[in-house]
Structure formats: C-alpha cells, structure tokens
Amino acid sequence: MLLVAEPVLGEEEKAALHSVIDSGWITMGNGVSAFERAFAKMHMADDAVAVSSCTAGLHLALEALGIGAGDEVLVPSLTFVATANSVIYCGAVPVFVDIVSTHQPLLSLVDAAAKCTPRTKAVVIMHYAGYLADRDAWCAFARARGLKLIEDSAHAVGTGRAGLSGDATVFSFFGNKNMTTAEGGMVLARDPAVIERMKRLRSHGMTASTLDRLNGHALTYDVTALGYNYRMDDLRAAIGLVQLRQIDDWNARRETLTDVYRQAIARLCPTIEIPFESHQVSAHHILSILLPEAADRRHVMVRMREGGIQTTVHYPPVHLLSYYIDRSPRVYLPITEAFARRELTLPLHPRMIEHHIELVVSTLANILGELGSPLVPQAAKLAAVL
Ligand SMILES: *Cc1c(COP(=O)(O)O)cnc(C)c1O
C-alpha cells in the first residue's frame, strides 16, 4: 500500500536511541536542550521550547501569551481540530474564520477583520499543506488591532527561517509530519519572558527540574503557577536531532515530487484542480487536490484503496465536527465548506519515486474516467498507454 505519509527512520536514529539508553538518562535533560538549541539556531532564534506535542505547544503558547477565560481567538476551520481545541483549553472561545479561496486555502484577512470584536485577543494562522501564509500582512493585521499572532506551523517545518514574525510559532513532530520524533513539538517565541513562562508551565510550574536537582543545581523547588506535564524526553530529542539534519533534503525532495504531480495531473486529469501556485514558498507537507464537483469522493477513495493507494481528507472542517456544533450555534463558512467537500490528499513523502506518481495519477484518471466526466476519457486513454 502506498501511504499518504511515511516517516524516514534508519540506522542513525537507532544509534542515537542506543546512546541515550546507554547514558542512563532518558527523560528531559541535556538531549532536549541540545535539540532546542539546534532547532532555534536553524530558525535564527535564541531559544526554543521542546514539548510533548504541537497540541501541548499551542496550549502553552496561548496561555503564556495571556489568553484566558472569555477571550476570543480567531482560528481557521480548515485545520486539524487541535488548533481550535487548544483555545478552549485556555477557557477562551475559538471564532472560526473562512479561507481566501479554494485556490488559496489559507485564512482570509477580510473575514478575520469582519469577525473581530472587542473581546478578540489573538489570531492563530495555519500554513495549510506547508504553504506559508502572508506573515507580514498578518503581523500588520495583529499589530493594528493589538492582537497576539500565533502560527500553527505543524505543516511548515523547515520553511520560513528568517526569524519570527508573530508572537509564537508551534511545530509538530508527529509521525506523519515532515520530520518526526514519534510524538513531539517545538515552540518559538519572540519575547524571552514568554519562552521562560512556557518552560515553567511545561513542567508543572516548577522552578527547578529533576536534572537540576540531580546535578545539585537545586535542592528543592517551588511551584509558581498551575502547570502541566508537557515535557519532551531525551529519547525523542535524540531522534529529532538526527531528523533535523535531513529536513532540508527531504523538503527539497517533496518539492520535486510535487512538481511531478502537477505535471502529471495537468496531463492526465485536467478536471482536477491543484490549490496554490507552484512558485509559492512551501514545505510541501501534503499533496492536496480538488476533485471535480460531480465526482463521488467516497467512491474515488475506495477505488484508490483497491488499487493499493491510500488517500485521506484534510480536513473535515472543525466547525462541522459534532463537539463544535453542539457547543455553539452552527456557523457558515462557505469557502471552507466548498473546499473540504472536494478535497483529496494523495501520497507524498520523500521515499516515493517518480514512478509512484505516474501510478497514482493514472489510477485516479481511470477512476474519474469511469465516472464519465467530460474531459476525462481522453486522460484515461493516455493512462492506459503508460
Ligand atoms: C498535526 C497537527 C497538529 C497537532 O500536532 P500534534 O503534534 O499531533 O499535537 C496541530 N495542527 C495541525 C495543523 C496539524 O497538522
């Protein structure tokens, strides 16, 4: 089965894990600090906070930036549910904002402006599929309204190194992301005081760590805030350090594969739309396409699976999930809903070869051809020749 996403793990990761195990220290220690320093350096930041997940990082960032009960936070609905959940963890209210268009499925500045109220305190942008949102425009938007700007950069590891534009940026190292630590995340923040607050909150609000006490740097500890256990550990950090060295090569490979997809789809499946322009800056996290209006996506997904190809949907819109419909009146986001109805995610990861893409696209062309879409029979014939 050709999977939508697959981690690249090998001998170097195994060796790194072995040496952590042999060191006798497996929880948060010098390995986590080394990973934080390397990640910060790559992003031209002074420091970073490694956490147990991107979800934990989003929660910490919002809380450390002062978001709390009764505040409203502008969020996309075309995202993973964690983006909005983390706002609710803070006691704040997520306010869903539509996307620009089905061709630019990134948060709309116009709709965000329309949804601001006196209670709006922050905006979370998400770099869908790895394509960077216009961060200068969002900074100006946030500054003009006195809002905190948080980037959910779960799709965008390895892009936009030119420092921080917003108040905090949160990355994910989950197993299907561009680099992985199995579970894990990282937070960058502009204000060193926010970094310090997050470091304390990720470990129960304690003033000293277990390692500090072991090393004799501290004899006891105080707790100064209600914190959490959101720590990363040295095992995961060791994997992360190895992965970090390869992220540029992997992202370059993703870009090449995306270009091959664009050409093959234009040739074989002209009724399919591909969001974004090929020259836009991206980490190419997923290969997202829009099926023709008339196509039955469920049927396409079943038939692709029969052909040995996994496909998924990014995303069921958060505002239409049962929990969100139950907790607040149904909001209407016409462009997000139109996009999500037609979206299909095809396999994309650095272990794929060009031949896989021909296979995926010709299989798709055949399935769409059976459905009798007007432009497709010709594409199906071409696919048969391949
Ligand atoms: C994966 C993902 C998350 C959650 O990341 P975890 O590390 O699994 O908590 C949040 N937002 C987006 C957009 C994601 O893709």
Over residues 234-273, the pLDDT tens digits come to 999 999 999 999 999 999 999 999 999 999 999 999 999 9
Burial of residue 320 (CB within 10 Å: 0-12, 13-18, 19+) is middle
What is the predicted pLDDT for the residue at 386?
40
How many CB atoms neighbour CB 350 within 10 A?
A: 19
What is the predicted pLDDT for the residue at 162?
65
**Model confidence at 385: pLDDT above 50:** no
Q: Which residues line ligand 1 (CB under 6 A)?
A: 53-55, 79-80, 82-83, 126, 152, 154-155, 172, 174, 185
Considering the chain, what is the average pLDDT of its residues?
Answer: 94
- In the 8-state DSSP scheme, what is residue 223? B
Rounded distance between C-alpha atoms, residue 109 and residue 366, angstroms? 39
159, 166 Cβ separation under 8 angstroms: no
Q: What is the pLDDT of residues 111-158, one digit of tens each?
A: 999 999 999 999 999 999 999 999 999 999 999 999 999 999 999 999
Closest CA to 241 of 27, 63, 13, 49: 13
What is the predicted pLDDT for the residue at 163?
65
What is the predicted pLDDT for the residue at 372?
53
pLDDT tier, 375 (very low <50, low <70, confident <90, very high otherwise): very low
For the CA of 176, the nearest atom of ligand 1: 1
376-385 and 354-370 helices cross at what angle (nearest 10)? Answer: 140
- The predicted model scores a pTM of 0.94
Please give the helix or strand (H or E) that residue 76 lies within, else none. strand 72-76
Task: Dump the DSSP string for 131-157.
Answer: BPP-HHHHHHHHHHHT-EEEEE-TT-T
Which residues form the catalytic set?
Answer: 177
Give the mean model confidence (pLDDT) for residues 173-202.
97
Q: State the pairing for strand pair 343-346/287-290.
A: antiparallel
Q: What is the pLDDT of residues 39-81, one digit of tens each?
A: 999 999 999 999 999 999 999 999 999 999 999 999 999 999 9
**Model confidence at 222: pLDDT above 90:** yes
Helix and strand totals (H; E) in the chain: 15, 9
Which mutation among 155, 170, 173, 174 tests ligand 1's pocket best, with the greatest number of atoms within 8 A of CB?
174
pLDDT tier, 379 (very low <50, low <70, confident <90, very high otherwise): very low
**Model confidence at 384: pLDDT above 60:** no
Q: What is the pLDDT of residues 296-308, one digit of tens each?
A: 999 999 999 999 9
Closest CA to 48 of 158, 167, 241, 196: 196
